[in-house]
Amino acid sequence: MEIDPKFRRELTKRFEMESNKREVEITEGWRRELEAIYRKKHEGMNSLVIEIKALMDRMTTRIKTLTSIIKEGQER
């Protein structure tokens, strides 16, 4: 069964739009967290470094989780 090319383009376009919207939401979330760290009055450089490292660790964990989900989806 062949999918209509016009329908396929529309579906692809809709998927890309939703994907881009989701990426903006995620990026805005990370930016808000980083901005909160930036605006916070830190006692010293060590506390700033610790908070940035914690944010980086959360981002790394999220990337690993998403990568794992993608690999599982490709294996099916």
Domain range for residue 23? 1-39
Q: How far from chain centre, in Å, is Cα 73? A: 18
pLDDT in tens, 12-67: 999 999 999 999 999 999 999 999 999 999 999 999 999 999 999 999 999 999 99
Q: Is residue 5's pLDDT more than 80?
A: yes
User: Are residues 47 and 30 both part of a single domain?
Assistant: no
Residues 71 and 56 in one domain: yes
- Please tell me the total count of domains within the chain: 2
Q: Do 74 and 50 belong to one domain?
A: yes
pLDDT band at 74 (very low <50, low <70, confident <90, very high): confident
| Shared domain check, 34 and 1 | yes
- d(CA 12, CA 18) in angstroms, rounded, equals 10
Q: What is the value of pTM for the model shown?
A: 0.71
Same domain, 61 and 73: yes
Q: Judge if 33 and 48 occupy the same domain.
A: no
